[in-house]
Structure 1
Amino acid sequence: MKATIFQNPATTTAPATPPSANFAAYWFAGKAELNSYTLQQAQYGVLNPGEAVLIFVTEDFRTDKQVKSETPESHDKSIPVLKTNLSKKFATGVYDYSLFTSVFTPVSNPSFPNTLKVSTSAQEWCGHSYLQLNYATNTYHIDSKSYFENEVAEEYEVAKTMLEDELWNRIRLAPDKLPVGQIQLIPGTITARLRHKRLEPLPANAKLANYEGVLFPGKLLQSYTVQYPTDDRTVMIVFESAFPHKIVGWEETYKSKDNLLTSRAVLKKTIQSDYWNHNAPADSTLRRELLIGR
């Protein structure tokens, strides 16, 4: 995969509101932040061991077609976004699950205050599914395809509101601006796929606090907790209070086959890399460093 031609400090599209010097030095240096996590994922009423990888990178993103900008001609139609790529892999008994989500959130642009796009794919030995949300004027347009009969092809719109999937980006961009109290959120797409739930805005209670536990590594940690009272589900993201607000893990609690279970991801390793330039066999050492955690 080639990096976008604008992904370097000299030529990248400038945000409408210039970021701080620290932000620009970290996020516009032409590298991605790669994080690996030890994963315990609820499915079929038990917790299944696996691994998660969380990637953050800035890139130029077309606002008209909502795709990555890769040509000089599309430069004036693009804005810089912070992209989350979240990969989860785990096994249930004899067979595998592979889940992947991409989230595209404008860095700092009053004309585009909302996340523009989310796409999620799920593969397992029974079949696979794909779900995409695209921002429109006052709504998110949702297009879904699935192997499963009851959700084989769905196309609908939901009211524009904040997305659970964008919370990871919002933490990296400005955790002090996270909404607290009673809010509306569109739940996470990966969990919706695992639970075969249709997406719709749900009432939620959100809280930002100091993290007092011992399960996650790091110093001066904060937690952002979202509780869905109508869905019996809670999500907690734990991150460093100091810039660049690295995410050290998360938890998600809900019923799976009538068992109340907590999925958990705990940070193992963080590296910065222009990973798209490291695709030769010799680069497997970099992969080993990331996934093994040393």
Structure 2
Amino acid sequence: MSPTIKAISILSIYLFLACKTDKETAIETKTETKVTATTGKNDVVTDKEFNDYWYSGTAELNSYDLKQSRYGDIREGEVVLVFVTEPFSLNKQVKLDHPQEAGDDNVSVMKLNHVRKFTTGVYDYSIVSSSFTPVNTAKYPHTLKLNTSIQEWCGHTFTQLNLEEDSYKFKQFSYFEADGDTEKNIPAAMLEEELMTRLRLNKGQLPTGDIDLIFSTIYSRFAYKKLQPAKAKISKTETAGLSKYTIEYVNYDRKITIDVQKEFPYKIMSWTEDDGDGLVTEATLKKSINEPYWEQKKLSDESKREELQLKN
């Protein structure tokens, strides 16, 4: 091969690799822009601080001491709140296995897994609720999906809400005859389960004043109330380092308070639930850590449970 041809070949390979690198960089930049871009005054601003924390490849794990009102008594228990961002399918409403191939179907969501455990007499309650709220709330103003599973020794129920245009498709499967298997549509509104996620996404802020709110699936089961939008009022007070939000339903005897940090990352420090029976459910933060928990399956990883101060 002559020196001239050899030089041309080397230059061609260099240009090809350079174009390929630029293309890959453009794809990465586009993905980052999709996460961080804001298009309106109601957008969540995902700045560098937000992205460094929430797109770091870990989840935020929070443990709480729980005092749960149930059957006329206060029960001791625990709550774990797991906050993590995930690529989510807008159409299938499941976590994407191959988000890089999903195009516009890929929506970045903040998932909240709310795990609540307590004992009533001889038997246990185990409750898991998962909500999937888009980070870009201007483009996607409603949580896309919510499901709750309640297990106890008498039986169990499973409830799921999937957003379809301007309503939620509600499905419930229950061991109990009074509930049976149910399917219906519910007008879309903010979910009680997404309040904590909204605080994390919106710099510790919730809208104050009158609001339509779909009360929690746990309250629906425990109080035997049909799940539907209800009128509620949100108010806010502030103390040193904390904002306290009070959510009161107008036509239901239910009041919730949430204490959230004023500064990033706006952790949930405590909350209460008062259903008017004279007993108040309380949860208070014990420990918060950031870990890739889905990779920590070994016996040696059980030390993380000790770090979280979990009893069970």
Provide the TM-score with structure 2 as the length reference.
0.84
Offset of residue 118 of structure 1: 0.5
Q: Does 2:275 correspond to 1:254?
A: yes
Offset of residue 199 of structure 1: 0.3
Aligned to 2:171: 143
Offset of residue 10 of structure 1: 8.9
Q: Does 2:45 correspond to 1:24?
A: no
Q: Does 2:70 correspond to 1:61?
A: no
**Hey, what's the Cα distance between the residues in 1 that align with 2:205 and 2:256?**
18
| Maintained 8 Å contact 1:180/1:207 | yes
Offset of residue 37 of structure 1: 0.3
| Maintained 8 Å contact 2:166/2:187 | yes
**2:63 alignment partner, SS class:** strand
Offset of residue 229 of structure 1: 2.5
**Hey, what's the Cα distance between the residues in 2 that align with 1:79 and 1:202?**
28
Aligned to 1:271: 289
| Maintained 8 Å contact 1:69/1:75 | no
**Hey, what's the Cα distance between the residues in 1 that align with 2:198 and 2:102?**
26
> Is the radius of gyration larger for structure 1 or structure 2?
2
Could you say which structure has the greater relative contact order, defined with CA pairs below 8 angstroms and 6 or more residues apart? 1
**Hey, what's the Cα distance between the residues in 1 that align with 2:306 and 2:29?**
32
Match of 2:299 among 262, 281, 288: 281
Deviations 1:262-283 (A, max 9, x none): 1000000000000111011110
Unaligned ranges ≥5, structure 1: 1-8, 212-218
What is the RMSD of the two structures over their aligned residues, measured on CA atoms?
1.9
**Hey, what's the Cα distance between the residues in 2 that align with 1:135 and 1:90?**
31
Q: How many residues align?
A: 275
**Hey, what's the Cα distance between the residues in 2 that align with 1:141 and 1:161?**
12
Give me the identity figure in percent: 42
Amino acid at match of 2:197: N
Offset of residue 102 of structure 1: 0.5
Offset of residue 141 of structure 1: 1.1
Cα 1:244–1:104 change in 2 (3 A) is: same
Aligned to 1:240: 261
Q: Does 2:140 correspond to 1:122?
A: no
Structure with the largest fraction of helix:
2
**2:228 alignment partner, SS class:** coil
Offset of residue 291 of structure 1: 2.7
Amino acid at match of 1:60: P
Structure with the largest fraction of strand:
1
Deviations 1:31-58 (A, max 9, x none): 1000000000111011100000001000
Amino acid at match of 1:33: E
Matches within 5 A, 1:94-243: 94-108=122-136, 110-175=138-203, 177-211=205-239, 220-243=241-264
Amino acid at match of 1:243: F
**Hey, what's the Cα distance between the residues in 2 that align with 1:240 and 1:25?**
19
Cα 1:235–1:140 change in 2 (3 A) is: same
Amino acid at match of 2:200: R
Amino acid at match of 2:159: L
**1:150 alignment partner, SS class:** coil
Unaligned ranges ≥5, structure 2: 1-27, 39-44
Cα 1:270–1:139 change in 2 (3 A) is: same
Provide the TM-score with structure 1 as the length reference.
0.89
| Maintained 8 Å contact 2:204/2:266 | no
